[in-house]
A and B are shown apart, each in its own frame.
Chain A
């Protein structure tokens, strides 16, 4: 018999392959078994027979229901073996329609049979080779119901295959909802249950956990269903809580904690739920410790980062003991990219909102060096995660003034931002830059040479609102108490045209920050004069546009403040005085019902009438003419403007010749 020969070379394999086309079923069977035995274990043989065009014949043999069922079985098993070959082997199988044939077979073959099981094994092998042919499995309710039935009642192997396939297939909301409707939650619950204190069999429980996680991810509806699904007397959350305990295998605990995390983040469990606080959280912290395998630590850190991403109470809980911090610091040191990324993300989450935690993060482990190294890591995902970490830490004003000065983190950051970054990196990086620029000291001037201003100005032109906002906000921070040459550079680079565009931006925050930039530019006397000397018409126009347009009160307030700043400039005052339109508006705003606008208008008036300045008398006369004096008196009389009385009195006092 051929299968007892020691090895097959290409020539002899031809002979039995020909027999596959024989009319004699016995010969076909023999040939199939020989073929199967030759390809199992050897990628070379798999590639060879695929090249010889065997796949279509095998698919034929699988689907022909006039043939001996054993032939169909052996053909399917052989396909299954080919699917365990190289990525090219699998791609070839998929291209030749194998996935579709397997799916069609699963629709009609009786579920308890070996043929069904072989189909599932083959399909699983195909799906495990990325990219999985997700589209070949339709979200067809009958098919999915069949599959979930197998997941509940089939043989151990069949059950494991189904959940593994579905866990990979479940890639978005459509699949999530379809699986939920087909009863997948109940099937998962059945696979997670176990007798007594033992662990459910790994081969089935692990893919079941992956499936549950994939179904619940960012899906409130499915997570809610999972919350209430029972097996026996235990709900899924109860089953999961059992599985996160210390005596369970690490991979199971990890999978269960991940499910609880996703269910919480999707909104079905609150942050103070015991299953989150005493279940998922401590488990994840434990899985980060030094004696755990690196891949578990990496996943645990990443999952913990997601768990604590937005909730301050969870951040505080996680950070409560120092051991997690030191575990994470150690994970950052691990060689793999996944580990570094997970640790940075976790630090970023923990330090997102709480100053105390931020301090501990930086102090305990001198993390900054790692962050800087992370920003230079060859892997893009690590670089992004390092920037996220930096972003969280940069929310600390104290750190900005101390640690960040020491480590000049802006250099690698600027490099990343200039290096055609993706949108995500650009968003978080520019937010970080924004924060760093709050403490823009002379030491950071080289940033200008690195093109910081140009980069930020370019950001303000992006279609994404978040990026425009970050750009203009960063420029605003940069201009705060900056030197004149910096201010000039900003104005010159941004250009008044772009500034006008930003003042008409769809996002109010962008308008606010643009006005904020103007305000910062127009501070310090001789800066005001210098800038207004060059840009007076554009600035005045900008202010008028805002004051006349239908902007919210807070936006108009900013415009008035700018006007007020201009009013402080020595020569610049005259520009306002020369503009009757603006002055009339000033009068209106002094009487505006909105208190903050009154106050802002008062600020402008106060600066214009200031007695100590040259030409005050003439200005006061002009303003009185236009009704400013009367408006001020009215303001003094108003009951609801009580808090402004001191300022009003001061302003009126300037008019001493007229009161």
Chain B
């Protein structure tokens, strides 16, 4: 690939100014590489059955399933289904130091519990819980305090789901916390990559593109990551 911005070097042949996928080139991306990336994604994110099936179908080597894959799956499930005390108990059994070391994460889990109570309409219990448990984290961390306030503000609305803070009640929020917890567990196990490597790839694309944009280069840009849509330069 060449992203030349200056004029050509005098050759008569027009410069290939951008990557033309229709032409065969010397860039070879192996199937094995791609399979490993997918395997890594499945294992990191805890899709155990899919990982095993994929391993079979793709004929891969025994994957380096981290020992905690089963636990991480159960923990993630518990978090996303609002069974927070259970999740906390499992985390503490697996890595007793984790939540003590990361109080902000602990706060997020407690916050999910609070949101469960609010979602269930148990306002009094929610307030009691907040003052008994969450207030401690809020006192020590400014960000936690803000998030606590937002959570409690939900109680001021007759229908929390239509309030400005309704995003906290969506499944996407508990999924976010579940991923946070997952990454923390992987980090605790000295795994080098706590995010799937696919994530790093995508970040690399975004960074490279932003660098090129900074320098005013024209190039085929991937505008939609999910669909890998590439737009030719104008």
Contact = CB atoms under 8 A, between A and B. Distances in A.
Interface of A: 3-7, 9, 33, 36-37, 40-44, 77, 80-81, 84, 118, 121, 125, 156, 201, 203
Contacts of A6: 85, 113, 117, 125, 129
A191 B100 CA distance: 26
B96 interface: yes
Interface string B77-98: 0000000011011001000110
A121 B113 contact: no
A653 B209 CA distance: 95
Nearest to B88: A37
Contacts of B186: none
Contact of B136 (A36, A43, A125, A156): A43
Contact of B96 (A5, A7, A9, A81): A81
B184 interface: no
B99 A41 contact: yes
B96 A42 contact: no
A124 to B, nearest CB: 9
Contacts of B88: 37, 40-41
Nearest to A44: B136
Given A40-B92, A43-B136, A201-B190, 17 more contacts: A3-B89, A4-B86, A4-B89, A5-B85, A7-B133, A9-B132, A37-B85, A37-B92, A40-B88, A41-B99, A41-B103, A41-B106, A81-B100, A118-B96, A121-B97, A156-B190, A203-B190
9 contacts: A3-B85, A6-B129, A7-B128, A7-B133, A40-B96, A41-B99, A41-B110, A42-B133, A43-B136
Contacts of A36: 92, 96
B101 interface: yes
Contacts of A44: 136
B85 A84 contact: no
A506 to B, nearest CB: 56
B69 to A, nearest CB: 18
B77 to A, nearest CB: 16
A-B pairs with lowest CB-CB distance, top 4: A41-B106, A84-B100, A41-B99, A77-B96
Nearest to B136: A44
A3 B78 CA distance: 15
B67 to A, nearest CB: 12
B71 to A, nearest CB: 15
Interface size class of B (residues with CB under 8 A): 20 to 34
B123 to A, nearest CB: 14
A80 B96 contact: yes
A299 to B, nearest CB: 23
A40 B85 contact: no
Nearest to A118: B96
Most chain A CB within a 10 A radius of its CB, from B100, B132, B190: B100
A9 B133 CA distance: 9
Contact of A40 (B86, B99, B133, B192): B99
Contact of A7 (B103, B129, B192): B129
Nearest to B85: A4
Contacts of A118: 96
B9 to A, nearest CB: 32
Contacts of B192: 201
Contacts of B136: 42-44
Contacts of A81: 96-97, 100
B106 A7 contact: no
A156 B95 CA distance: 13
A125 B192 CA distance: 24
Nearest to B122: A6
Nearest to A199: B192
A44 B136 CA distance: 7
Contacts of A3: 85, 89
Interface in B116-134: 117, 125, 128-129, 132-133
A203 to B, nearest CB: 6
A4 B90 CA distance: 11
Contacts of B128: 7
A306 B85 CA distance: 51
A37 B101 CA distance: 14
Nearest to B116: A6
A6 to B, nearest CB: 6
A121 B100 CA distance: 12
A125 B113 CA distance: 28
A77 B95 CA distance: 10
Interface in B40-66: none
Most chain A CB within a 10 A radius of its CB, from B97, B125, B132: B97
Interface string B9-41: 000000000000000000000000000000000
Nearest to A84: B100
A524 to B, nearest CB: 69
A37 B93 CA distance: 9
B85 A80 contact: no
